[in-house]
Amino acid sequence: MSWIVLITLIVAVTAFLVWASADVRSGIYLGMLCRTTTHRRVVALTFDDGPDAEETPRVLDVLKRHGVRATFFVVGERIEAHPELLLRMLSEGHTIGNHTSTHTASLPLKRSRTIADEIDRTRTLVTRLTGLRMRLFRPPFGVTNPNVARAVRRTGVVSVGWSIRSLDTMKGDRQRVLERILSHLHPGGVVLLHDRVEGAAELLDRLLVALKAQNYTTATVDELFEIEAYEK
C-alpha cells in the first residue's frame, strides 16, 4: 500500500469517527430520539444548559404568555444555584431532562463511570427537590462516543437529540438565528435552543409567532415521542 493511499485511509477513518461523535443524529455509538415521523405540523422546543438566573425567567415568561410548554435539559450545578427556577418549570407544565451535573467541555472524554456519576447526581438532586426521577437525557454538546453510550446504558436514561439546530449560542443577529430555524423546520422535529444565552426570550417570542403563522403547534419531548419523561 502506497503512502498516499494509507494517509487517505487514515484521514477518511478519522473524519468518520469525528462525524460519528459530533453529529447527534449519526446513531453510530448511541441511538438518539431526534425526530419523529408525523404528518402533523408539530415540533418540540428544547432548551439546554439552564437554569440561568436572568434569561430563564424571561424564557418562562414568554412560554407562559403564548401558552406553550417546552422541555428543559438542566445542569445539576445550576439547579443547586437556582432550585426555584426548576420548581417553576414544573409548576408551569414544562418537562425537565438531565444534562449532567457540570456540563464541562471535557466530560465526554472521561470514563463512562464518571459520566454516569454526573447523570446520577443530577437525577438524585432533582428527585430530592421534586420527587421526580428523570428519564430523559441529552449529552453535553450532543457529543457521543463509546464511553457516553456505556454511561447511558449504566444509568438507564433515554437519550434525546435534535433535528433542528439553532446555533443560538453564536454571537450575531437573532433574526438570522430565527431564519436558520425556520429554513430547517419540518413536522416532528426537535429544536435545540438555550435558555442561558442573551436574547433567548426575544428569539423565542419571534419563533413562536412564526410557528403560529405557519400553522405549527408545539409539544414537549415526551408528548412528541409518546414516552414517559419520569420513572414511575
* Cβ(201)–Cβ(58) below 8 Å: yes
93: left (phi over 0), alpha (psi -120 to 50) or beta: left
- For cell 487517505, the residue is 8
Q: Active-site residue among 94, 99, 103, 194?
A: 194
The amino acid that residue 152 corresponds to is V
Q: Active-site residue among 48, 49, 120, 205?
A: 48
> What is the DSSP track for 153-221?
HHHT-EEB--SEE--TTSSS-HHHHHHHHHHT--TTEEEEEETTSTTHHHHHHHHHHHHHHTT-EEE-H
Q: Which phi and psi (to 5°) does residue 166 adopt?
A: -80, -25
Residue 38, classed as helix, strand or coil, is coil
Q: How far from 222 is each of 25, 26, 36, 51, 170, CA to CA, in Å?
A: 18, 21, 11, 20, 28
CA 114 to CA 149: how far, in whole Å? Answer: 12
Active site residue 48: yes
Active site residue 194: yes
Catalytic (active-site) positions: 48, 194
